[in-house]
């Protein structure tokens, strides 16, 4: 949710350890302590590898009559790095994921994510960052992108809505002349949409449903920029 202005009433339904955040933290700790399947395979391998090295290294030293070879094998063949190769990245990955709001059910889930080609999410709010971007401008046959963006930027220049900031940024980046004034008219928000009316020509910024409704009241408005009047 993004709230730039207006009141908001917040009611606490849970506190302390009963909150959802506390539950997520507990889950992250539980999943972090739960070893991935690959760690079990590594530990099983180490159960055979360590005794083999402990016995085989002295035998190799006796055969070659070189004690240094025994010490070398013990140092090189020590499975410490192998045993740490699974739990350390596992814990680090889960901690990093939780810091950006992603809760993974253990290291196996993160490993499986590497093979994902398509993800389905339950709602758009899951990915909302509060920083929208303008991806495409679709125009009617008789319209030009520059004119449409100029009008849109003129309507939104006094708005603090996140979408207004995107339109103004896009118009500024393209070097489109600014609308210098809106006179003798009424501009504002109608059901969450920006509206400016000129005679019986209505300029609207909003959803397609809102734009498709016929206006019942018209106000005269003059929009000027660089000597051009709509």
For the segment 130-152, the average pLDDT, to the nearest whole number, is 79
Task: State pLDDT tens for residues 12-25.
Answer: 888 887 887 787 77
- Name 154's bridge partners: none
Q: Give the span between the Cα atoms of 230 and 221, in whole angstroms.
A: 9
Confirm whether pTM is higher than 0.85: no
Q: Which candidate, 223, 160, 168, places its Cα nearest to that of 189?
A: 160
Res 166 pLDDT > 70 = yes
What pLDDT shows up at residue 221? 38
Res 116 pLDDT > 70 = yes
Which residue reads 């009141």 in tokens?
7
Is residue 122 part of the annotated active site? The answer reads yes
Task: State pLDDT tens for residues 204-213.
Answer: 677 777 666 6
- Out of 18, 117, 122, 184, pick the active-site residue: 122
pLDDT top residue among 98 and 191: 98
What pLDDT shows up at residue 223? 39
């Amino acid at each position: 949710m993004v709230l730039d202005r207006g009141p908001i009433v917040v009611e606490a339904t849970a506190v302390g350890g009963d909150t959802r955040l506390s539950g997520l933290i507990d889950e992250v700790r539980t999943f972090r302590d739960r070893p991935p399947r690959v760690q079990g395979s590594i530990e099983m391998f180490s159960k055979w590898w360590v005794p083999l090295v402990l016995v085989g290294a002295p035998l190799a030293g006796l055969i070659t009559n070189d004690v240094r070879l025994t010490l070398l094998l013990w140092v090189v063949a020590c499975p410490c790095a192998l045993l740490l190769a699974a739990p350390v990245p596992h814990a680090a990955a889960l901690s990093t994921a939780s810091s950006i709001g992603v809760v993974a059910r253990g290291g196996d889930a993160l490993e499986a994510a590497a093979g994902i080609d398509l993800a389905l999410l339950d709602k758009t709010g899951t990915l909302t960052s509060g920083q929208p971007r303008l991806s495409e401008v679709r125009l009617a046959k008789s319209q030009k992108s520059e004119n449409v963006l100029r009008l849109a930027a003129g309507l939104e220049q006094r708005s603090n809505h996140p979408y207004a900031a995107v339109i103004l940024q896009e118009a500024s980046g393209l070097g489109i002349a600014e609308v210098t004034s809106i006179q003798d008219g009424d501009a504002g928000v109608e059901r969450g949409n920006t509206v400016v009316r000129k005679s019986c020509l209505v300029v609207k910024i909003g959803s397609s449903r809102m734009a498709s409704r016929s206006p019942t009241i018209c106000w005269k408005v003059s929009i000027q920029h660089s000597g051009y009047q709509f």
